[in-house]
Amino acid sequence: MQTQSIAAKTGMGTVELAVTDANRALRFYRDYVGLRPLPSDGPELRLGAAGRELVVLQPGVEHPVMPRTSGLYHLAIVVPDRRELARVIGRLAGLRWEQYPTDHVMTKANYLWDPDGNGIEIYTESPEDGTMGFANGTFVAYDKEGNPRSGRDPIDLDELLSHLHEEDKLDEPMPAGTRMGHVHLHVADVGASLRFYHNLVGFDVMGHVPGTGFVSA
């Protein structure tokens, strides 16, 4: 049983990733994702937004990520608004990088993978569009009119891209206010993992549906 909850102010910090090719990974996170290099005293590559460190790349592994094995499912970077999400999607489209813009109602998200197979979500919060959560052991989402939604619909790209200004440059880096939102993990046993993160680490369980569990401070 849980003895004490982790501090409510606990938040996300830097995420470190193992990569096979340092130069390739640097180009991807700089030119495609939109992060900027930060000073580093070692072989690792540090990147962030407006001086805030978000990702550290650790070169030297021999093989890329093996799909559907225990470990990182994705890291999730939060951008301040729809305009910045539109900039990311527009930039990736121009560079012809595979991406999956998705409407989660309370967030607007974009999914992609880096050259080593590390998953990335880039999203902005949109609580004004509706709600999402858990009820009776399942995930539920409703738009602002109360209509049920899947929470996995494609984004209305015409609406999203309308937030870009005519003078906006797609290669502008991620701005101040960008932060690391969360990580999702592949695990071998959801129940055992929930017990570990809840009972031992102290996270609160936010929801649990078959095959998936969510914890948070």
Residue 1 has pLDDT above 70, yes or no: no
| Paired tokens of 62 | 């021999």
d(CA 206, CA 194): 10
Type of residue numbered 43: P
Give the type of residue at 61. Answer: V
pTM of the model: 0.95
How confident is the model at residue 70, as a pLDDT?
A: 96
Nearest to 59 by CA among 17, 93, 119: 17
**Is the pLDDT reported for residue 29 higher than 90?**
yes
Q: CA 53, CA 45: separation in Å to the nearest integer? A: 11
d(CA 151, CA 107): 9
Q: What is the pLDDT of residues 150-180, one digit of tens each?
A: 999 999 999 999 999 999 999 999 999 999 9
What is the rounded distance in angstroms from the CA atom of residue 149 to the CA atom of residue 141?
5
Per-residue pLDDT band at 126 (split at 50, 70, 90): very high
Place of tokens 């021999």: 62
CATH of 15-186, one of 3.10.180.10, 3.20.20.70, 3.40.50.11890, 2.30.30.40: 3.10.180.10
pLDDT of amino acid 3: 65
